[in-house]
Structures are given as C-alpha cells and as structure tokens.
Structure 1
Amino acid sequence: MNKTILALLFLFMFQVSRAGNELTPGQVEAYDLVLRLRFVDARKLLKQEGKAKEDHIVPYLEHYIQFLSILISEDEKVFKSCSAGKETILRQLEAGNAGSPWHLYSQAMFNMQWAFARLKFGEYTTAAVEMNRAYHLLMRNNDLYPGFAPNRAALGLMKVLIGSVPDNYQWITRLLALHGSVSEGINDLKLITEAVSTDTNYPFLKAETLFMLTFITFNLSGAEADRAITGRLIDMNHEMIQRSPLLVYAAAVFHMHYGENETALDYLEKRPVGASYYPFHYLDYLTGLAKLNRLDEDAGIWFLRYVNAYKGGSFIKSAYQRLGWIALLRGDTKGYYDYMFRVKHAGRTLIDGDKQALAEAESGRPPDVRLLRARLLFDGGYYKQAGDLLSVLTPDDFNYPKEKLEYIYRKARVYHLKGQEPMAISTYLKVIDAGGTGPWYFAANSALNLGLIYEQKGDFRQAEYYYRKCLALKYAEYKSSISQKARAGLNRLEKK
C-alpha cells in the first residue's frame, strides 16, 4: 500500500475519533464539509463554533484541514506552515480532560497524522518516533477504556499497517516493539464495522469504515467474499460517495483494481468540482488512467492537467510515462523519448509506479506496442480484447528476453481473470521457470497470483509455498507492493 493510501486511512480514523463526543450541529456540519474538501465553508463554521463553545474539537478540526491539505497537495510550503503551529495544537490537546477516553486518543491520532505527513517528505526518523508515541498512547488508552470503540478501531488499523510494513522498513517495527499483523487488524476492523449499523453515536462512521475497507480489501485481502461485501457497500452508498472527492477516489481506485474500468470512470466523471472544493489533482491522474485503459484519444489531456497543476512529487514520473506511451501508440517515437526525458527530471521516486517509470526511461528501450496495448486493455478489465490481441502472437514474434517473458505473463493474467484456472496455473509456472532469475516483476507476480489461486482453492500448503516463493525472488519492479501482498497472504494463512 503506498504512503498516500496509508495516510488517508489514518485520516479517516481520526475523524471517527470525535464523532460520538456530543458534537453540536455546527460541528457535525463542519465534519461533513471537511470530508467533502469544502475547507473554506468548514472554517467559517468552525470560527462560529469557537466563539460559542470553548472546547478542543474546533482546533482539532482546524488541524484536520491542515493535515488533509498536506496529504493531498504534497506541497512543502503547506507542510512547513502547518509544522509551525504544531506544538500549539498539541498543547491544547494535552490540556484537555484527562478523565476522558478522548484525551489520550486525540493525542495518539495527532502523532499518527504527523508521522504520515512526515513520510511524505522523507522525514523517516521523526515519523518513526511519532508512530511509536501514537502506538503506546493507544495501548495505554485501551487499558484504561477497553470498551472505547474508536480506540479499538484505531488499534485494529494500526495492526494492519504494522503487519504490512515493507521489508526495508521492518527494522523500525522491531526497534520500537510495535506488534500486530494484517489478519488481526482486519478482524478487529470487521468487528467494529459490524457494530456501526446499530450504533447511532458515530454519525460519520459509515463513510470512514467504507473508505478503510475499500483499500484494505484490494491491498491486503485475497478473499472474494471481502471483495463482494465492500463492492456492495460502495453500491449501496453511491449518493454519499458522489458528494465527496475523497470517497470518489476510494470507489474509483477500488473498481479500477478489479478491472471495472467503466464504473470507475463513471465515478470520476461525475465527481464534485468547483472553487468550493480543495483541489484534488490526483483524480485527474486517475481519470487519465481509466481513459488510457480504454485507449481513448483524450487520455493525454488528463495527464497533462495533472503534471501542470500538481505541486507534489508523486505520480509525476508515472504521468509522463503514460504520456510517452500515448505518443508511442500513435506511432510518435520522438514524442515518446521527449516524455521519457521528463520522466528522468521531474517528480520523485518514493512509490513503485514512479520507480518503474524511471527504470523504463533509463533503459532507453520503449515497450513493445502490441504488448502495451494488451496490457492497458487488461488493466481496464477488457479481457476479451486483450486476449484477442495476444492470441495472434507467439513468443517468436519478440526479439528481447523481457518481451518474450512479458508475452507469456500477459497470457497468464488473461487466463486467470477470464476464469480459465488450469491454463492460468500452467502459464504462471512457465513465467516462473523462464523468468525466476530475471530482474523483472513478472515471475514474482506470477508466484503471488498462484498463491492467491491456491488460497482460494483451500490448498494452503501450496499457497504458502508460492507466497514464500514470491518473497524469495530477486527483482526491482513493483517490489514493495508485490511483497506487501505476499506477506498479507501469509498472515491470512496463519489465521486459517
């Protein structure tokens, strides 16, 4: 799970924390406005609430707006501006009612938010200190108030995140004695979610748990039942989702992950827009992806909008890579290399997608157009069209080892998602045999998918073998996200 997703998950847990604390009607409305990214309107209400009642909810919500602005914008100026007032808000929270379950909890969430804000800007050491502080505040609060639902939900989410920490950051969890697994955390969150429908004390919890479950489902759960439950919840809350750019983001990413490109595009095209909403440029990037997956002619417009408007560093290289692909699909090789030049010099490489874009640019070799077109159609869920393109090709049609291997891999993916399981298994095995020692991600993702297939079949021994095989392979592309899913698979098997 990338850092944007992790931070937004904690953002929503933050909002849950205050929902049952006898909010005034104005505070309830302010929460709704913040969730919909209508920050100017929310601040007006908070200003009125601050005059009418002296409490710590108002400054906390004001900080919430700042925090959300950091996450969405990745603007270093916003980050530094918010950092300047950090200690003042923290002192206000520490001066609150020590006999309330919200006292330690709000401080824990405050530290958690800052930990993830710092991760955006590479301040890993300070983020680790704040993460540790948040964890132990939650544990203390749980000892004092074991029935306090927001705290239990926060600890559940903490367990998910601790259990999904990438290999290269596992040393942090060991050093700080942070304990938790993905399976434990998901189970805790499910228990909390089941209580939401009958608990009227938390009016915002429906949206927040839906947001969390959306990302946890496709990043960490291999169960088809979990996917079905989350998808049904999204469908049931369509109207609520369309009012919030954040929930549109969650719904669109969920549907894109499962190859439901048309549904994702419908959410994105109908999202709320206008001057009253805080700019969420990443939705332009997602719209570009969805249109490119459908091979639409106007896909490039959305990537250009993103790179020209967004001040952060994430997905910039990936957007330029997509613009290069669009040029390549049009037969414009020079245009492709022009965009690859920009990939090398713009944006950052904190996420797998940007790392892969940079690796392609530095290789100096464009992807094969036939495989690229099949890949895009597959990513959009257009499996028949992708399969038809691949069916007229053979490995001998390609000159380079990577392309030959990718061809076999693409066929395996089509077999898998079309439900042709025996063919998928045998073809995934061919990919592993041919590419297990190569630097590309095809063999690792094939092993991951074999693990998922055998887990669904109930053959846990084989599933464990392939999850461990996935983690043992040496490669660079998409390693963080693939390894995370393999570890999540092993965590699920431990429970089973």
Structure 2
Amino acid sequence: MAEEQTDVVFSPKLQKAYFEIQKLRLPAARELIDDERTAMPGNPLIAYLDSYADLHYLLIAEDRNRYKTFVQQEDNRLDDVGKLSEKSPYKRLFQADIRLHSAFAKLKFGNEVSGSWEIIKAYRLLEDNRKKFPAFTPTLKSLGLLHVLIGSIPDNYTWIAKILGLRGNIAQGIRELREVAHEEPFFRQEAELIDLLLHAYTLQLSPAQQTRIRQWPAEQPDNLLLHFFATTVLMKENKSDEAAHFLAEAPTGKEYMPFPFLDYLRGEIALQDGDYDASFSHYARFLKQYRGFNYIKDSYFKMFMCRWLAGRDQEAAGYMQKVTQTGSTIVEADQFAERMAKEFTAGSIHASQKVLYKARYATDGGNFQRAFELMKMVSEKSFETTYEKAEYNYRMARILQKSARVNECMPFYERSVALGQSDAGAAGFAASSALQMGYIYQKKADNQKAAAYFRKAMSFKKHEYKNSIDNKARAALTELGQ
C-alpha cells in the first residue's frame, strides 16, 4: 500500500515555481521544483507542477518527443497525487487538473479521442470533489473552465455531452471562475487568465477586459505569457499597432523558454502594415527556429504573399510548393494555406485578388481607412468567380462594420451569405458574414434576428472556419438563452 500523504505543502519555492510557469520562465520554475523534489520528495504539489510546466512547454514548443514522454509520465503523476488522503480536497482537484493538462496537450497534438476521454474523467473528478467539499473554491477554477467549454459545444455534438453526463453552462462557468478570482489569492491569476482567454477566443471581450489585458503586462513586465496574450488578443481585435508595442516589450533571456512564435507574430504585423520585406524575414526566422508542426504551411503561404503582393510573382511561386510539402493541417490557418496552394497550382488564383488580400491584411491590422481606399478601386464586377465575389462583399462589409458604418455594411454581408448559399466554395465567407450579422442584431437587442443569423452561420457545411464559427455561434445562442 502506498504511503498516504496527509496534505499538500505549498512551500515558498513551489509557490514561486507555480507563478514562474505562468510567466513562461520554465527553466527557472523547473530549478525550483527540482530543489523541492530533493527536500520533500513526497509532496504531491511537485507532480502537479511538473505536469503544469510540461503543458505550457508543449503548447508552445510542439515537441513530439517531449509529448511522448509527457503522456508516459501521466500515470506516475496521478499515482503521486493519488497518495493524498481522501480527506484532502486537493486530491481530486490535482487528479482532474493533471488529466486536463493531458487533454489539452493531446488535443494540440491531434489525439482528439484520447483527449476527450481525459476531459470526461476530469469533469467527473471535479463534480465529485464539488459534492464532497462544497466550500472548497479552487475546484471551480477547472470546473468553471469545463462548464464554459461544454456550454459552447456546437448543436450537433450536444447529445454526446448529455449521454456522457457532461453539463455545460457558459454563464455559470464564468461566475465560477470569477468566484475563484475573488476568493482565492493563490489561484486568482490563473482563474482570471482562463476567464479572459475564454472571452477572447470563444465569447466576446468587454471594454473592462480589454483594459485589463493592456494593464496586466505593465504590472508584470517580467511576464512573457501576459505580453504574448496582450499581443495576440489585440491583434485579434484589429489593433496591431498596439500589439506591436507589447511584442517589443516582451521580456527575453535564458530564464524563459524559447518562443519562436513571437517572430511569426512580428511577420503578421509587418504583413498587415504592407512592409513585405520585413514580414518575409520574420516568417523565415520563425521557420528556422521552430520545431513544431502548426503554422508552417501558413508561414510559407504568407512568404508567398510577401513576394506576390510586392509584384515578385515568379519568386513567389516556389513558396506555394513548400506549403504542400511541409507542416500539418490541424489549425485553420494551415488548412486555408493548403487549400490556397492547391488552387494556385490549379490556376484559380488571379492577379485581381491581390487587392482583396491587401485590404484583408490592412483590415486585420486595424488600418480601415487604407483598406477602404483599396476596396473603392474595385466592385463585385471586377471578379470572375463566386468565391471572389463573396470575398469582395465580406471584406467590404467587415471594413464598414469596423469603421462604425454598421447600416452600410449590412447589404454586403447579405450578398455574401446569398453567394455562399449558391456556391459551396464560398461557404466560409457566407458563414463569417452570418456570424457578424448575428452579433450586429445582438447589439441592437433584436434577439430573434440575431439567433436566426447565428443558426444560419452554423448551417454552412465544410469550410476551413467551421469549428471556430460554430463554437462562437453556439456560445452566442447560449447567451441569448436559445
């Protein structure tokens, strides 16, 4: 019988290690954990922090060898925290969190079935812990996250959640995370970070949250994760000038884990600014240093764009070949790059589309005036295919919407939806247009029309953005009580 551990020891070194992990100062964190491993080998917090540090490393480095080791170590770590007394509320919390770390790593590495089972097991452990220790708030950190994720499952999968006994509720999940942030100083930052991430990528950020994202890196100048998070969220919000500031301020040094993806982000911002040479160099540097498998196709596609949009068409072509020869198609950006490479080979990418790409990148970066000036040079008639016509209407609508010209954008969105219904190839633009119209009607408090458009967004089949659009539409419908 394994020796029963009475409880977790939150030693000063291990507490510091936990916060170092959240700064991506992984070498520094591992040093602290290893010191404690010698001093207190039976402390279950060590196994928990080992797993937590590995998850951060794997999500960023995408290191397949380390991933294999991580999967093999899971059972030992579960055994280590399993030695905790049944009277300790940390026993099931740590078991659930180690399973969640494993789930997110498995999903990242494309092992969906195994990752999903880990989520189910984690959910059951957390529910059990909630019943046994109702006053133990830290359980809500992970349970709240799962309530939001399960609550935003697209309609066609909700029956699976019901059969497995998984209950999702977005509003409840957010309340639970905020209770942790309010009540638990140790887990406050993690709960707040999860809350912000969920709003940035599945729900929508409030003005207060947008302010918080800007404040945080200033409060913790040595926190690389917060600088990265501020950069990516601001880029998502079409504020690349601001994002570039946080990226430039990001801390570096041997205490931090290598983070080549920051060069990819620099490439994106330069591309949006129309600085094609600088952008090309950043993507090239990213590919040289990176050992992972996501965003490789996308980077080669963007290198093609840097040359093609600069009028260096012959030079550009070679990079499209690399798109098909390397990388994976797990993330939407890589799926899009792969499709564009096939279309390029088939001769379906035309010079007339250059203006659409320039306008798209300018819009992504937040330069709506430049994007509008570019789009004024063309009309729907300038394009040959339904796909291009749908893209023209979607781009025009997006620029007008982002420029606070909401009433003017609606006919363009409507037209894009109509074109997507007549041609499956244009489904991605149609679905994106329907989603945006849903948001517009939601803001106008016309919930009936909003719900109809969110459902319409989910109705489009096979396109690169199906998962993320369905998740957002599902989450919005849940918020509307539908």
For normalisation by structure 1, the TM-score amounts to: 0.89
Q: Which residue of 2 aligns with 1:366?
A: 349
Q: Which residue of 2 aligns with 1:429?
A: 414
Unaligned runs of 5+ in 2: 1-6
Deviation at 1:316, TM superposition (A): 1.1
> SS of 2:110's equivalent?
coil
Equivalent residue in structure 2 for 1:442, among 425, 429, 435: 429
**Cα distance in 2 for residues equivalent to 1:64 and 1:274:** 21
**Greater shift after overlay, 268-277 or 370-379?**
268-277
Q: Which residue of 2 aligns with 1:250?
A: 229
Equivalent residue in structure 2 for 1:178, among 152, 166, 170: 166
Q: Which residue of 1 aligns with 2:4?
A: none
Q: Which residue of 2 aligns with 1:99?
A: 87
Equivalent residue in structure 1 for 2:196, among 192, 214, 223: 214
**Cα distance in 1 for residues equivalent to 2:218 and 2:8:** 26
| Residue 202, structure 1, aligned to residue 202, structure 2 | no
> SS of 2:250's equivalent?
coil
**Greater shift after overlay, 381-390 or 84-93?**
84-93
Deviation at 1:69, TM superposition (A): 1.9
| Residue 143, structure 1, aligned to residue 131, structure 2 | yes
Alignment of structure 1 residues 264-275 onto 2, 5 Å:
264-275=243-254
Equivalent residue in structure 1 for 2:297, among 301, 313, 317: 317
Contact 2:178 2:191 in 1 (8 A): no
> SS of 1:464's equivalent?
helix
Q: 1:164 to 1:445 in 2, by over 3 A?
A: same
Deviation at 1:344, TM superposition (A): 0.7
Deviation at 1:191, TM superposition (A): 4.1
Q: Which residue of 2 aligns with 1:282?
A: 261
**Cα distance in 1 for residues equivalent to 2:171 and 2:315:** 46
- For 1:377, the aligned partner's letter is A
Alignment of structure 1 residues 12-411 onto 2, 5 Å:
23-53=10-40, 54-165=42-153, 172-193=160-181, 195=182, 199=183, 201-203=184-186, 205-206=188-189, 208-222=190-204, 226-296=205-275, 297-364=277-344, 365-366=348-349, 368-411=353-396
Contact 1:214 1:254 in 2 (8 A): no
Alignment of structure 1 residues 446-465 onto 2, 5 Å:
446-465=433-452
Instruction: Summarize deviations over 1:365-421 as a string: whole Å, max 9, x none.
Output: 336111111110000011111011111222222233322222122111111111111
Contact 2:397 2:412 in 1 (8 A): yes
**Greater shift after overlay, 292-301 or 39-48?**
39-48
Deviation at 1:461, TM superposition (A): 0.4
**Greater shift after overlay, 181-190 or 331-340?**
181-190
Contact 2:214 2:230 in 1 (8 A): no
Alignment of structure 1 residues 405-420 onto 2, 5 Å:
405-420=390-405
RMSD of aligned C-alpha atoms?
Answer: 2.1
**Cα distance in 2 for residues equivalent to 1:158 and 1:84:** 24
**Cα distance in 2 for residues equivalent to 1:391 and 1:203:** 53
Deviation at 1:314, TM superposition (A): 1.0
Q: Which residue of 2 aligns with 1:492?
A: 479
Q: 1:475 to 1:117 in 2, by over 3 A?
A: closer
**Cα distance in 2 for residues equivalent to 1:171 and 1:283:** 39
> SS of 1:251's equivalent?
helix
Q: Which residue of 1 aligns with 2:3?
A: none
> SS of 1:335's equivalent?
helix
Q: Which residue of 2 aligns with 1:8?
A: none
Contact 1:108 1:138 in 2 (8 A): yes
Q: 1:171 to 1:124 in 2, by over 3 A?
A: farther
- For 1:269, the aligned partner's letter is A
Q: 1:29 to 1:122 in 2, by over 3 A?
A: same
Instruction: Summarize deviations over 1:209-264 as a string: whole Å, max 9, x none.
Output: 34223322233324xxx421111112332324542222222111111111111111
Q: Which residue of 1 aligns with 2:461?
A: 474
Contact 1:245 1:280 in 2 (8 A): no
> SS of 2:206's equivalent?
helix
Contact 1:284 1:306 in 2 (8 A): yes
- For 2:135, the aligned partner's letter is G
**Cα distance in 1 for residues equivalent to 2:95 and 2:133:** 15
Once superposed, which parts of structure 1, at least 4 consecutive aligned residues long, lie more than 6 Å away? none
Deviation at 1:204, TM superposition (A): 5.0
Q: 1:75 to 1:170 in 2, by over 3 A?
A: farther
> SS of 2:463's equivalent?
coil
Deviation at 1:169, TM superposition (A): 5.8
**Cα distance in 2 for residues equivalent to 1:52 and 1:354:** 46
Q: Which residue of 2 aligns with 1:13?
A: none
Q: 1:42 to 1:473 in 2, by over 3 A?
A: closer
Contact 1:210 1:230 in 2 (8 A): no
